[in-house]
Amino acid sequence: MSSYESVHVEVDKDGKVKVLTRGFPGPSCLKEHERLIAYLKSLGLEVSVESRQETEEMHQVERGRVRTQQ
C-alpha cells in the first residue's frame, strides 16, 4: 500500500477528463472521485462518468477490513 494519496487529472484536447487515484485503500478512492466530480459540478461544469476501471488498491485493506472481489 502506498504511503501517500494522490489524484491525477488529465484533460485531453477534446475536453475529456481522465482521473487516476493512487494510494487510496479500498473504496475510499471512489469517495475521492465522487468528491472531485461534485466539486467540478459546483463550478458549473457538465460532468459525466463514461467508464471506471478498478485498480488493485480498490481491493486492499481499509481501516482494518479486507475487501474482496466477488
What percentage of the chain reaches a pLDDT higher than 70? 81
Give me the long-range contacts of 60-65 (CB less than 8 A, separation at least 24). 60/1, 60/25, 60/26, 61/1, 61/25, 61/26, 62/25, 62/26, 62/27, 62/28, 63/25, 63/26, 65/26
Residue 55 included in any domain: yes
> In terms of residue numbers, what domain contains 19?
6-66
Q: Is residue 18 part of a domain?
A: yes
- pLDDT for 46-63, tens place per residue? 888 888 887 777 777 655
For residue 1, being part of any structural domain is answered with no
Which pTM does this prediction carry?
A: 0.63
Number of domains composing the chain: 1
